[in-house]
Chain A
Amino acid sequence: MEAGQALSSRLGRITISSEAIAQIVAETAAECYGVVGMKGSLRGQLARARGRPRGIEIGRDGGEVTVDLHVVVEYGLNLAEVASSVSNRVAYEVERLTGLSVRAVEVHVDDVRTGGK
């Protein structure tokens, strides 16, 4: 497992794993308006099988985090606005809950869902 980025504290280092960040991203994305599902490649799926949620890849670069997120959006919504809201919300929640700074959240709208429910 890759070690998380360390936050210094008086008592020692605090590390946050990529898995924990991916969990936060998954929870947040599921609550985002317009997102009705998550998607992932086989690679993403295998990553998830190792403990990460589907459709989410976390990159680490020094103290900064990048998030790649694959979502399915309800048909008939403004995709650009939904993607931008998801990106803002995910960056905000990850920074708020981990204290790590988020360099980029790439939201990929892999599909739109049609036909209600």
Chain B
Amino acid sequence: MSAEGDLELVRGLVGAALASLEASRSRIDDLNVYPVPDGDTGTNLTLTVRAVAETVASAEAGDRPALAHAVARSALMGARGNSGVILSQIVRGVADVLAEATNGIGPPLAARALRGASDAAYRAVRRPVEGTMLSVIRELAEEAERRAVEPQPLGDLLVELVRHGDEAVARTPEQLDVLREAGVVDAGGAGLVELLRGLAGAVTGEAVSAAPAAVASPGPDAIHLEQSRYRYCTVFVVEGDALDRDELEAQLDAFGDSLVVVGDEAALKVHVHTDDPGVALSLGTAVGTIEGVEIANMHEQQEQRKRRLSLVPSTRAKSGVVAVVAGEGNRRLFETLAEPVGTIRVVAGGQIANPSTAELVAALEALEADEAIILPNNPNVRLAAEHAAEQLEWRPAEIVPTESIPAGLAALVAYDGTRGAAENAAEMAGAAAAVATGEVTRASRDVELNGLAIRSGDWLGLADGEAVAGGDDFADVTFGVVTRLLVQPRALLTLLTGAEPPPLDGLLERLAAAYPELEVEVHEGGQPHYPLLLGAE
């Protein structure tokens, strides 16, 4: 097909999808209770598709990859709201597959496009929630793959997919509690099927049967989605004759909130959140007979969820860390950082006192994890770490070649014991590389370094291993180091004080004055030889 033909086809398809969504927009808005019940899903989806329609309306004919790129990009830029963002990924997945097509679109290609859409959509969420747009696009992809093996016109396949999509949407309340409680189907999923219905209609040339029997809009039960300051959800029916709805409502109003009283003179259904269900029931029995009483403790439900949220999994770590650290305070920092997310063994050592390979092997052996990561935290320890890793046969060990304690701490921030060693090592190395590190020590003899004449006993400041400042004033020297570390803007400066604690007071004030935006943290590191270690990130 010509480039002009492709463009016309895409314009037609997008226009049909948009028209179908527009028609259902307010119904979909009404369904929206998840993730936030703000009633805008239909609007957001419509606006996102409209952005694509505007782009293709003004686009010039080009090759397929260029057209696909323009469509994907306009969905990305025009994405509105959570559902719009998900839709933009779905569009991108479809566009990426169709961009490669050289002929017409048949069922096998359509199935691949939907699979691409589903994969793209799932890739962007850490914990996918079932019963949403995500599960609907996945089920559409699965169904398309099942059906694509039989030869058939594309239109027939799309009509079948719309039907299957309607079923998938109808199942969402079984998958997501918040939908069932509100008595609705998922809004995003419903919108996605409406979009597909428009596409199917455009391809077959005839409208595809309307949405399944209008799903109820959120009923009084949706009220439960809101936190109530009252404890008990109380529901009952009052039967009698000449019941006065307004009067009963006014009486109940004084005892709670989320009040709904519906019905007629012969029967009223009451729903109220109250701390005293007995009073509510008494008001009912005063005017008639009550039945169908249901009282639920809402706070208990919320407590259960809160308890569930605070449970800490106590499973064995997939990977653990062995770190070579000097100083008792630094050891505690390493342990404090690693233990909540995994496990760590700290081996004492550093610049002067390098640990032996045997000590490292012993620590690696003792690690309660399947795989290991080694943080040498000093260039002189790296070789021993490599030897130790080689000697360890049954446990894969990765080395993150950190050259300082601050770099090791930064690496540890990226550690997550539920991941394997290789994956952790890659993330941790990246985190360590992002930190600029410095050291302040005392010169042990007269030296000239980088043009700095330094006398024995003077303060010597190093930034990333290079001498940058020297002199007899600690604050001056340290300030010189900090200036170097902050050549690139940094948000956070971590100071680790040594066994010989440095005079920090004047320094902190100068830093605050010179870098008002910089956050400065001071920890007692306790390392020998270096009164101060610095890390800037």
B420 CB to closest chain A CB (Å) equals 13
Chain A residues, Cβ within 8 Å of B336: 46, 49
The reply to whether B126 and A30 form a contact with Cβ atoms under 8 Å apart is yes
Whether the Cβ atoms of B337 and A20 lie closer than 8 Å is: no
Interface size class on chain A is: 35 or more
Instruction: Confirm or deny: B66 has a beta carbon within 8 angstroms of a beta carbon on chain A.
Output: no
Query: Please, how many angstroms separate the alpha-carbon atoms of A23 and B307 in the complex?
Result: 10
Encode contact with A along B122-133: 1 for CB under 8 Å, 0 otherwise: 011111010000
Asked if A64 CB lies within 8 Å of chain B CBs, one says no
Q: What are 22 of the A-B contact pairs (CB < 8 Å)?
A: A20-B306, A20-B309, A30-B127, A32-B125, A33-B85, A35-B125, A40-B413, A42-B337, A42-B409, A43-B492, A49-B340, A74-B125, A77-B76, A81-B85, A85-B82, A85-B85, A88-B38, A89-B82, A95-B227, A96-B225, A96-B226, A97-B302
Query: Which residues of B284-313 are within 8 A (CB) of A?
Result: 302, 305-306, 309-310
B257 CB to closest chain A CB (Å) equals 12
Answer yes or no: B259 CB below 8 A from chain A CBs.
no
Take A85-B35, A89-B35, A96-B225 as given contacts and tell me if A45 and B413 are in contact as well, using a CB distance cutoff of 8 Å.
yes
- Complex: A37 Cα to B509 Cα, angstroms: 36
* Interface residue? A24 (CB, 8 A): yes
Interface string of A58-90 (1 = CB under 8 A from B): 000000000000000110111001101100110
A82 to chain B, nearest CB (A): 6
The residue in chain A whose Cβ has the minimal distance to the Cβ of B225 is A96
B contact residues around A76 at 8 Å (CB): 76, 89, 92, 124
Nearest 3 A/B pairs, CB to CB: A74-B124, A85-B82, A78-B79
- Tell me whether B81 is interfacial, beta carbon within 8 Å: yes
Do B305 and A97 touch (CB < 8 A)?
A: yes
Grouping DSSP codes into helix (H, G, I), strand (E, B) and loop, the B interface class, with mixed when no group exceeds half, is: helix
Question: Assuming the A-B contacts A88-B36, A99-B227, are A10 and B340 also in contact, with contact meaning beta carbons closer than 8 angstroms in the complex?
Answer: no
B35 near A31: Cβ-Cβ < 8 Å: yes
Number of residue pairs A-B, CB distance < 8 angstroms: 122
With A36-B124, A116-B123: A77-B36 Cβ-Cβ less than 8 Å: no
Q: Within 8 Å CB of B341, what residues of A?
A: 54
B125 CB contacts on chain A under 8 angstroms: 31-36, 74
A interface footprint on B147-168 (CB within 8 Å = 1, 0 otherwise): 0000000000000000000000
Nearest A residue to B77 via CB reads A78
- Chain A residues within 8 Å of B76, by CB: 76-78
Name the residue of chain B whose CB is nearest to the CB of A52: B340
A64 to chain B, nearest CB (A): 15
Say whether A13 faces chain B, with CB atoms less than 8 Å apart. no
Among B36, B85, B491, the one with the most A-chain Cβ atoms within 10 Å of its Cβ is B85
Interface hits, B183-218 → A, CB 8 Å: none
| Chain B residues in 8 Å Cβ range of A95 | 227
Q: In the complex, A78→B310 CA distance in Å?
A: 31
A48 to B227, CA, bound (A): 27
B136 is an interface residue with CB less than 8 A from chain A: no
Query: What residue in chain B is nearest A43 (Cβ atoms)?
Result: B521
Q: Give the interface centre of B76, B124, B336, B412 by most chain A CB atoms within 10 Å.
A: B124
Assess the B123–A49 pair: CB atoms within 8 A: no
A23 & B123 in contact (Cβ 8 Å cutoff): no
The answer to whether B337 and A49 have CB atoms under 8 Å apart is yes
Q: Which residue of B lies closest to A94 (CB)?
A: B227
The answer to whether B229 touches A20, judged by C-beta atoms less than 8 angstroms apart, is no
* B residues near A9, Cβ cutoff 8 Å: 229, 275
The residue that B36 contacts in the complex, of A20, A74, A89, with Cβ under 8 A, is A89
Query: Could you tell me if B89 and A77 are in contact, using CB atoms closer than 8 angstroms?
Result: yes
Q: Does any Cβ of A come within 8 Å of B88's Cβ?
A: yes
In the complex, A15 has a CB within 8 A of chain B: no
CA separation between A76 and B305, bound complex, in Å? Answer: 33
B82, B123, B410 pick with most chain A CB within 10 angstroms:
B82
> Would B80 and A81 count as touching, CB distance under 8 A?
yes
A51 partner residues in chain B, CB cutoff 8 A: 340
Interface membership of chain B positions 52-91, coded 1 if the CB is closer than 8 angstroms to chain A and 0 otherwise: 0000000000000000000000001101111011101100
Whether the Cβ atoms of B124 and A78 lie closer than 8 Å is no
Q: Which of B109-131 contact A (CB under 8 A)?
A: 123-127, 129
Q: Which residues of B contact A20 (CB under 8 A)?
A: 306, 309-310
